[in-house]
Structure formats: structure tokens, C-alpha cells
A = this chain, B = another copy of it.
Amino acid sequence: MTEPVKNLRFVLARRPEGPIRPDDFRAVHETLPALEPGQALVRQVFMSLDPAMRGWMSDNRDSYVPPVEIGETMRSFGVGVIAASRIDELEVGTRVSGRFGWTQHAIVGAEDITPLPVELSLEVAVAVLGLPGATAWYGLFEVGKPKPGETLLVSGAAGSVGSLVGQMAKAEGLRVIGIAGSAEKCTWLVDELGFDDAINYRSDDVAAAVKKLAPDGVDIYFENVGGELLQIALNNMNTNGRLVMCGLISQYNATDTVVGPNLMRMVTKRLTMQGFVMTDHLGRFGEFARKVGTYLQQGSLHYRTDIVVGLEQAPTAINKLFDGTNQGKLIIKVS
């Protein structure tokens, strides 16, 4: 590295109450130090914005993982290219993924990075092979235990996790019904992703639609949203059904006391509801990547990205996850 590298990153400035605001983050302009032996410089290309970030910003509720500290670089998963290396056998130009954070560049150790398969584009890597894809895979197969012929209902179906859950379930021979927040998203789910049906929760009577579209009931409900959708799902679950609790995005910004559904049917229908956090299972990432690689080769996974250009847009763009305006996997193009 011959010249000092100028860097922009965002740190957490304060913990949000209610919706995230741009000034919950603070820009830091800095010049990076020279690399020590055993370090490398990553130039981040794509950075993933995910609903879990709302939890990481907060310390007044239980979160998946420890919160980001005030003044610390905001946490995120991304993909990039090695721009300089003092790590043995790590060449400049190597494409890697890692938790680089909201930053243009990151100084990393060998343990902080995972080289990407050569045949995978950076965009596919961040959209499908990142945390959302792993979450979809683990939740569907390990928690949901799908069987061909069963019916799966998924909320947040047009989101980064939900869209992959539905496609994986279709590839496994299930009937798949998605719930999403616009007619356009519903059309995309059915026409492009191959969902059997989609319900627009903003305009449809969801309870009536689920009854009509799943007349024999629902075997697996994959929950990304919470609120009244969970009650509707419970009301339609078949005996021995499984509720995969991936996220409750409708509650992440709630400041009031949240109530949940009547759980009587947990007993009467012998249901199992299980929460999980993919980061507990990172040791199984290889297994996931092989499965998803097969799907990608078969052409059974489609995705779309909602790419916002420029790291400086991240503090505003993140709210697209919570107001439903993102169209596919929300990604910041950093460089």
C-alpha cells in the first residue's frame, strides 16, 4: 500500500426510539492506517441492509446478538475485493464476504473474511448467499421440516428471506402461498418466482384469502412479520403444523407494549412454534452454500435486488425495509 486510503464509514450515534432516523448514524471521514502484517484491506462493493439491524441498534430489548455500541461502526454483511494484503497467500483482487460494517473499506484479519466461489457474481453472493439466504435455508429445512405436498404460507414473501423460502419450498414440491404488501410484489411472486398464490395484505382480506387459497389448511407458516398475520396463520394451521419464527418486523419499531395472538390452537392443533437465529448456525454455512449452489444451477432460484448507490445513502435507505417500499433484497452499492 503506497498511498494512505481515505475512508467513509458510519457509526451508531444514538439508539433509535421508534423508526430509524438518518441522524441515528454519524459519518466518520478518516485516513486509514498502514496495514500490519497479517492484515488486509477490503474494498467493499455491495453491503446488505437487513431488518435485523433494527435490533442491533437497540439495547432496550432482546436482540439476536449483542447490540452495536454507540460510536461503533454500524454492523453489516457485505462482499468486496481485497485491495491490499499483508496476509500470506491472500492475493489482491480476491473476492470475499464478511461482516465489514457500514464502511467503504475495512482492515481485516484472515479470520474475518470468507473467499467467494469463483463462479458467483458479487451481486448473487450478497443477494442469495448471504445471511438472508442462509436464514431461509435453515428456517425452512431445519425448523419447518417440509414434506412434498404440504402447504407453506410465508409472510414478508417479497422480502430477501421470504422470496427465497418460497422458491426453495416450491423446488421441494410444496404448495406455496405468499403474503406481501403490493399488487406488484404479488404479481412478481406468482409470475416470476413461481409461487402458487399471493395475497396483498394492504388490499385483500387476508383471513378470507388464506381460507380460500388453503382450503385444506396450512402445514408450515414461515413468519417474518408478526401482528395480525400470525393470528390468521394460527387460525388456519393443520394438526401438527410448524410455525417458523424468523422475525417479527412489524414489531421492531414498536414502542408500545405489543400483544400477540391467542395461542389456544398451539394446544388444540398440536403445533410447534420455533424461533431461530441463523448466526447460531454459521458452522453450517458450507452445507447451505452447496444446497443453494444446486438450486442456482437448476435455475430454481430467482431474486431481485433493490440497489441504492452510495454508502452515504444507507442511513436513509434502511427505512425502506420497514415501510415496505423496498423491491427485493436491499443492497447498498458501496463502490
Contact = CB atoms under 8 A, between A and B. Distances in A.
Interface stretch (A33-41, A187-195, A206-214, A263-271): A263-271
Interface in A232-249: 245-248
A270 B260 contact: no
B257 A262 contact: yes
Interface stretch (A57-65, A72-80, A176-184, A301-309): A57-65
A121 interface: no
A267 B273 contact: no
Interface in A261-305: 261-277, 280
B266 A270 contact: no
B276 A267 contact: yes
Interface centre among A64, A273, A276 (most CB of B within 10 A): A273
A273 B273 contact: yes
A260 B261 contact: yes
A325 to B, nearest CB: 24
A62 B261 CA distance: 15
Interface of A: 55, 61-64, 226, 230, 245-248, 251, 257-277, 280
30 contacts: A55-B268, A61-B264, A61-B268, A63-B268, A64-B267, A64-B268, A226-B263, A230-B263, A245-B263, A245-B266, A245-B267, A247-B267, A248-B263, A251-B262, A257-B262, A258-B262, A259-B259, A259-B261, A259-B262, A260-B262, A265-B275, A266-B274, A266-B275, A267-B277, A268-B275, A269-B275, A270-B274, A272-B272, A272-B273, A272-B275
Given A248-B264, A272-B272, A272-B273, 12 more contacts: A55-B268, A61-B264, A62-B268, A226-B264, A248-B263, A258-B264, A260-B260, A260-B263, A267-B275, A269-B275, A270-B275, A270-B277
